[in-house]
Amino acid sequence: MVRWASCNEMFEGWDISLQFACLASLGYEGVEIAPFTLAARASEISSARRREVRNEAARLGLTVTGLHWLLAGPAAEFEGWHLTHPDVHVRTKTVAYLGELAALCADLGGGVLVLGSPRQRSTTGGLSVEEATKLLGSSLAAAMPAVAAAGVTLCLEPLPGAETDVINSCNESLSLIRELDHPNLRLVLDVKSLAAEGRVSGDAIPEIIRRVGRSVAYVQANDENRGHPGSGLIDFVPIMSALKAIGYDGWVSIEPFDFRPGPETIARESIAYLKESWATAGVSEGAVHGAA
């Protein structure tokens, strides 16, 4: 059985205890945190504050699932983080910060680092996509010891070509993951991104999910319109059927980008729609469990 979580950045301006209380009251079991909602960078979050956030989530029956938007926020431009930069010093600094984030994630009780951060992995400095992808692999390999030491999993997220030119499909993500061959490096699926991938490949979202199988460690739910699940045209029933078919029993975390309906409305409508979709979904007889 999957568990339901929500990203927290849509609660801008809310005290974190009120964010957690809202999600818990609506039936969520987890919260996925964008680090910049706590401080500009991880080192500014004290040990006491980390314990406070973790304990407040636990008090309300929530688990901090992990972190996302790892290299975003007010410090990103100033720090110049970049995983594929031709300057080794820039990459080294960025890798070190991933280590800080892994420690933060563990301190908050989380298990997953979702690596999207399109600007910080895109080609730069005149490099080709192939060169940048190799540097991304080198940076991730350098980051994995700290990630593993923290006991968390780094999930590489394929993103649409409109957002980045490095790692646009599950196949590309899995190719790099398999090349590095580290147990703490896995795949995250994002519905909006899957829709973009499907437009390029011609594959339906459920087909992609069945193909990647047990490589999936985390799922983010949104719509192609960048709104919350149920706000657009994507039918989540076949998606849930595919997740059941691969035996997925992890987190499904909502990650909208359009906050205009308001966080309470987004959270309420999303969990109702996702639960209904999961309950309605069946598993096709020909489904292969644990593919890929």
* pLDDT at res. 286: 40
What's the pLDDT at 284? 53
AA identity, residue 37: T
pLDDT for position 282 = 86
> What would the mean pLDDT of 211-220 be, rounded to a whole number?
95
Q: What's the pLDDT at 133?
A: 98
Domain boundaries, the chain: 3-280
**Residue bearing the bigger pLDDT, 289 or 174:** 174
Q: Determine the pLDDT at residue 291.
A: 41
- Residue pLDDT, tens place only, 265-292: 999 999 999 999 999 998 653 444 444 4
Say if residues 171 and 207 touch (Cβ distance below 8 Å).
Answer: no
- Reduced 3-state DSSP string for the chain: CCEEEEECHHHCCCCHHHHHHHHHHCCCCEEEECHHHCCCCHHHCCHHHHHHHHHHHHHCCCEEEEECCCCCCHHHHHHCCCCCCCCHHHHHHHHHHHHHHHHHHHHCCCCEEEECCHHHCCCCCCCCHHHHHHHHHHHHHHHHHHHHHHCCEEEECCCCCCCCCCCCCHHHHHHHHHHHCCCCEEEEEEHHHHHHHHHHHCCCHHHHHHHHHHHEEEEEECCCCCCCCCCCCCCHHHHHHHHHHCCCCCEEEECCCCCCCCHHHHHHHHHHHHHHHHHHCCCCCCCCCCCC
- Report, in angstroms and rounded to the nearest whole number, the Rg of the chain calculated over CA atoms: 18
* pTM of the shown model: 0.95
Judged against a pLDDT cut of 50, whether residue 46 lies above it is answered with: yes
pLDDT of 255 higher than 50? yes
For the segment(s) 3-280, the CATH number from 3.30.70.1380, 3.20.20.150, 3.30.420.40, 3.40.50.1820 is 3.20.20.150
The whole-number pLDDT of residue 288 equals: 42
- Average pLDDT over the chain, rounded to an integer: 95
Give the span between the Cα atoms of 32 and 20, in whole angstroms. 11
Burial of 228 (0-12, 13-18, 19+ CB in 10 A): buried
Residue-wise pLDDT for 115-155, tens only, equals 999 999 999 999 999 999 999 999 999 999 999 999 999 99
Encode pLDDT of 80-99 as tens digits. 999 999 999 999 999 999 99
